[in-house]
Amino acid sequence: MRAIADSVGVSPPAIYMHFDDKDELFFECCSRRFREMAEVMAEAADGQASPMEKIRSVGRAYIEFGLSRPEHYEVMMLGPIPAKAAAGGPEDLPGAGALIMAADIVTEGIETGDFRSDLDPLATAVALWASVHGAVIVLLSKRKQPVKLFNDETAVVEQLLDIIGRGLV
């Protein structure tokens, strides 16, 4: 807390005027990164002609976001949710915007006939998130290892997006 206070030019006790504890402060920082990630994903979807192109672009943007900010990503995904924040509904959690965006794209794909009609949009969005999240974690872990099982991260990402695409049609 002292380092954070120093970086923003206030005393450590002043931080507690805005946040109850360290977890609440970290949660707010994570919330800001989640909003940034949702903006990056929305920009990736903009201008894409089809729901499939949107899903691929959004998935790629998610992975690139996580890989380009490894420390932020790990804190975002593994940090605790303070009781005050958990008291709200799931739609109030920081990552909800990105998940809802994915579910909306799936719904669009079902409505246009580009995606299978038997898909549940929210369950599919969670499965998509699990897939791209898993890719980020694997690729970040690989970067920390002295022995590399593979080198071409782009090929892994594109193969994952191809597999996801085949599962939607």
Contact 65, 135 (CB under 8 A): no
Query: What separation in angstroms does the CA of 4 have from each of 12, 15, 25, 30, 73?
Result: 8, 9, 10, 15, 19
- Please tell me the predicted confidence (pLDDT) of residue 10: 77
pLDDT tens across the length of the chain (169 residues):
676 667 777 777 776 777 777 777 777 778 889 999 999 999 999 999 999 999 999 999 999 999 999 998 988 888 777 777 667 777 777 788 899 999 999 999 999 999 999 999 999 999 999 999 999 999 999 988 888 788 899 999 999 999 999 999 9
Taking each helix axis as running N to C, give the angle between helix 121-144 and helix 96-112, from 0 to 180 degrees, rounded to the nearest 10: 120
Q: In terms of Cα–Cα distance, which of 42, 92, 93, 96 is closest to 65?
A: 42
- Please tell me the predicted confidence (pLDDT) of residue 31: 84
Sequence spans of domains, the chain: 32-168
Second-level CATH architecture of 32-168? Orthogonal Bundle (1.10)
CA-CA-CA-CA dihedral for 109, 112, 113, 115, to nearest 10: 0
Distance CA 2, CA 11 (A): 8
- Please tell me the predicted confidence (pLDDT) of residue 1: 63
Contact 45, 54 (CB under 8 A): yes
- CB count within 10 Å of CB 120 equals 12
- Please tell me the predicted confidence (pLDDT) of residue 28: 77
pTM exceeds cut of 0.95: no
The HSE-up count of residue 166 (CA atoms within 13 Å, CB side) is 5
Distance CA 62, CA 118 (A): 25
Distance CA 58, CA 44 (A): 6
